[in-house]
Structure 1
């Protein structure tokens, strides 16, 4: 257990580089806009394509991949339905409901999921997290956008929702899945290039989180009761509920642990970006990501230890 905690701590430790760089004015908050563009549109897509092209399609890998993808889709759908009901129960102002639904549904399994799954579950865990994240991206940039803008002006802006699908993360996820299932492998020169660029994903993602944490103010979230409820549901209640529901289903154990672990992560860092693009409450989106990220430093090690114990037993 100490080894797992040490691995998680080493990953979280990278955030202090971003935190410190922001405090000494090397990386101001404005830099996250450009670093995020590099991460989302260049580094992460390269990692996805590289990982997909390296895998050999066997009966075992096919089963684990399809189960990871299917379980991730099921987990997000169940969570989204619960989020819709919970946000309505919380009596959140109608204009902000979409933001809270996204905070509850979508996790930071790209920025944080990659480094943490590699540290905790190894290379196989990282590959399945990439599969889960591919499904996540497709879901986020289609269903997620509709969930976000559903209450805006009292109607769904399908035109805006469709535009979000034509994005590099979405298209790369689809291409990566097709490459895996069709058994397409890239030349070694291209492979090495993609790996070199993709290796930036893990440190860059944690540095961005560090910068965002350095700029966030805890006193800004202390007066918002909705954020407290969101944090408890996101980090404690929903992952435990999903575990209780899915543990009885006949899924591959590692695929099950990866998806449950993905759902224990804090709210996705991309939510404030989408909120800004579609004209919803960016401030609440940023505060929700900040609060869940801070508290996840306590909840993630606990879930990681429990899931690795479960994986070891099975």
Structure 2
């Protein structure tokens, strides 16, 4: 019964992604107007969804249990990063690609894609665990990942911890998360009209995210993608090594079963879309970053149902 629900959730995702692809082909979405969708998700729907979900799901006592599991994604991602450093050196990658490769290897799109995927596959009870993984992922991406990509560029490398890094970690979804935590810990009641507004706005997260993925896939020129050794290594990192690292760490650190399943799915998601943006900012190989993000996004459609079968 649970597996059937997961399959139905996956079919819903495929339909929404396909709709974005079809509407782009019909000219409804262009490169310019499609930029509105990720902005709406990042600045409006995700923060309000977090606020509504957490206030409906948790009380003060539950938070200790929730955050006790954050060590699992932190350790598993550090393991994946160390493996990515080893592989990038063995492959003797160009100096303007090593950091980009490593970031794409060990960091996933745990929020923009993670929330709608887990919501569709495992329901609203999975979202708090999605947020725990997101916190670990965001911190490591904007510190280790950001620093690694900066080493690829022509400009001076960024600092691992800086004011700019802290600002990036404190994104609108993170602020929504922290606001919800504060309200719960202080036991501050929230009026129903605000909760209902957050619920309605938050419900836009899944459809807008999936439409945008369909739009992005439409713009990919498949004939330009070459499956070189480094591209294959990133696919292995995202869809095999990272999830196995989660299972390995979770075998030593007991966590709730649903939390472990969510962490596995989170670890088997595409590379962070911001990888391409940072590569462009630091004057690294941004086209290479775009290829890695695109290929991992395409392969996620195949990998996610396989992981749902196993877990």
Give the TM-score of the pair, scaled to structure 2.
0.87
Could you say which residue in structure 2 is the equivalent of 1:140? Answer: 141
Aligned residue runs from structure 1 range 94-133, under 5 A: 94-133=95-134
Could you say which residue in structure 2 is the equivalent of 1:9? Answer: 11
- 1:279 matches 2:283: yes
Asked if 1 retains the 8 angstrom alpha-carbon contact of 2:247 and 2:264, the reply is: yes
Aligned residue runs from structure 1 range 149-164, under 5 A: 149-153=150-154, 155-158=156-159, 162-164=163-165
The 1:159–1:135 alpha-carbon spacing in structure 2 relative to 1, beyond 3 Å, is: closer
Unmatched tracts of structure 2, length 5 or more? none
- 1:41 matches 2:43: yes
CA distance, structure 2, for counterparts of residue 284 and residue 272 of structure 1: 8
Unmatched tracts of structure 1, length 5 or more? 308-314
Shift of 1:201: 0.9
The 1:286–1:176 alpha-carbon spacing in structure 2 relative to 1, beyond 3 Å, is: farther
CA distance, structure 1, for counterparts of residue 281 and residue 131 of structure 2: 25
Aligned with 1:230 (options 222, 228, 234): 234
Could you say which residue in structure 2 is the equivalent of 1:194? Answer: 198
Aligned with 1:258 (options 262, 274, 281): 262
Shift of 1:212: 0.5
CA distance, structure 2, for counterparts of residue 274 and residue 187 of structure 1: 40
CA distance, structure 1, for counterparts of residue 299 and residue 272 of structure 2: 14
Asked if 1 retains the 8 angstrom alpha-carbon contact of 2:60 and 2:184, the reply is: no
Asked if 2 retains the 8 angstrom alpha-carbon contact of 1:8 and 1:119, the reply is: yes
Shift of 1:154: 7.9
CA distance, structure 2, for counterparts of residue 140 and residue 148 of structure 1: 10
Asked if 2 retains the 8 angstrom alpha-carbon contact of 1:57 and 1:181, the reply is: yes
**SS where residue 110 of structure 1 aligns?**
coil
CA distance, structure 2, for counterparts of residue 160 and residue 245 of structure 1: 26
Deviates more, 1:157-166 or 1:194-203: 157-166
The 1:71–1:183 alpha-carbon spacing in structure 2 relative to 1, beyond 3 Å, is: farther
Deviates more, 1:81-90 or 1:296-305: 81-90
CA distance, structure 2, for counterparts of residue 305 and residue 10 of structure 1: 17
Asked if 2 retains the 8 angstrom alpha-carbon contact of 1:112 and 1:205, the reply is: yes
**SS where residue 125 of structure 1 aligns?**
helix
The 1:233–1:188 alpha-carbon spacing in structure 2 relative to 1, beyond 3 Å, is: same
